[in-house]
Amino acid sequence: MVRRRQTKRRRKGSGAAGILWTLLFILLLLPAGAATWLVLAPFGPETETFVELAPGFSTVRMGRQLEESGVVRSQFAFDLVRWWKRGTLKAGEYRFDHPVAVTEVYARISRGDVYTRTVIIPEGASLFEIAARLEQTGFGSRKSFLEGAARQVGLVKDLDPGAASLEGYLFPDTYHFARKFGPAQICAAMVKRFRAVAGQIGLVGLKGNMHRVVTMASLVERETAVDEERPLVAGVFENRLAKKMPLMTDPSVIYGLELDGRWRGAIYQSDLKLDTPYNTYLHTGLPPGPVANPGLRSLKAAMEPAKSDYLYFVAAGANPQGRSLFSSTIEEHARNVADYRHAVKKAGGR
């Protein structure tokens, strides 16, 4: 009889222990489940929200900033993922526009997936055209960029002590600028790119000739978009300079009109008679400075112009056939001009 009672007591105690372990297991699951929900359940803004994580922010402050901005449900969840992943967080401005898991927020910041705006600056764009593109992309007004760029001419004084502006030194490329970039930062980035390219082709070592090369390259860039013609165009200009003939290049005339606020969108005969320092019909020699921002191939062409006896050309940009027509005599040039006009008429132009 005694043995039976002992057995019953043991079974009763074993059942209580099972219940206790079950309760403990549930209690352990609750925080784990809560943490999983905090980490994996999508959360965040439904509309465009920007968060600035400034350089020098501690990781704790970054988490707090994300919570205060409504990007993560809890700073604790972000800190938990950070502790688990043990990656490096990168400063910058981030854009969020829909709910995501905390793990995705962490992944973007550890990758440095900062928000930028893309601006494509084509070869041959002038300061005026760059300013217009930046305005279209949301980087302030055209006027503010032109004024800001004028104050940054010191960026190139070591390369070109005679530079009157940054014209010629804002290298054409595809740029990804932070949303809050102003003229100073944009100009610095573009000049830095110019320096890198100029260094690659040996132009930086020609400091005494930098102004001349970049000015020549800007004319070449505006006269033709055909790569194999660039050295030939540069050669024509060099031949005319050697003979003290006026360059008679329309892009330079147009630039002078833009500086004076007189450009009407098309060049007229009266414009060719207007006396500006950039009127290469009235003045011999190169214009006072670059008239656009040349790309790599035009810079190379200006450094190594082709040797020829050509003195004239009809620019490819005006020719429906898509190529320039070169000639050594005024008679040949007259025939080329007539051929050009015939091609324009045939193509439906005037």
Strands (E), 102-181: 116-120, 174-178
- The answer, yes or no, to whether residue 95 has pLDDT greater than 90, is yes
Say what the pLDDT of residue 133 is: 96
The rounded distance, in Å, linking the Cα atoms of 142 and 92 is: 26
Q: What is the mean pLDDT of residues 111-132?
A: 95
- Report yes or no: 291 and 251 within 8 Å, Cβ to Cβ: yes
Report all structural domains of the chain as residue ranges with CATH numbers, in order of start. Answer: 49-114 (3.30.1490.480), 120-308 (no CATH)
Q: What is the DSSP letter of 299?
A: H
Which range has highest mean pLDDT (41-55, 85-99, 176-190, 334-348)?
176-190
When pLDDT is cut at 50, 70 and 90, the band that residue 341 belongs to is: confident
Say what the pLDDT of residue 29 is: 44
Say what the pLDDT of residue 308 is: 95
- The answer, yes or no, to whether residue 4 has pLDDT greater than 60, is no
Closest by CA to 113, choosing from 98, 91, 135, 97, is 91
Instruction: Identify the weakest region by mean pLDDT among 33-42, 148-157, 241-250, 340-349.
Output: 33-42
Say what the pLDDT of residue 338 is: 85
Say what the pLDDT of residue 320 is: 47
Say what the pLDDT of residue 2 is: 46
Say what the pLDDT of residue 24 is: 52
The rounded distance, in Å, linking the Cα atoms of 91 and 93 is: 7
When pLDDT is cut at 50, 70 and 90, the band that residue 1 belongs to is: very low
Percentage with pLDDT > 90 across the chain: 65
Say what the pLDDT of residue 349 is: 56
Closest by CA to 235, choosing from 299, 308, 296, is 308
Q: Determine how many CB atoms are found less than 10 A away from the CB of residue 244.
A: 8
Say what the pLDDT of residue 30 is: 47
Q: What is the mean pLDDT of residues 56-83?
A: 89
- The answer, yes or no, to whether residue 80 has pLDDT greater than 90, is no
Q: For the chain, what is the mean pLDDT?
A: 86
Percentage with pLDDT > 70 across the chain: 84
Q: Determine how many CB atoms are found less than 10 A away from the CB of residue 7.
A: 9
- The answer, yes or no, to whether residue 148 has pLDDT greater than 70, is yes
End-to-end Cα separation, the chain, in angstroms = 124
Question: Which residues is 117 bridged to in the sheet?
Answer: 177
- The answer, yes or no, to whether residue 14 has pLDDT greater than 70, is no
Any idea how long the chain is? Answer: 350
pLDDT tens for 238-276 read 999 999 999 999 999 999 999 999 999 899 999 999 999
Higher-confidence position of 285 and 75:
285
pLDDT tens for 265-323 read 899 999 999 999 999 999 999 999 999 999 999 999 999 999 999 999 987 655 545 68
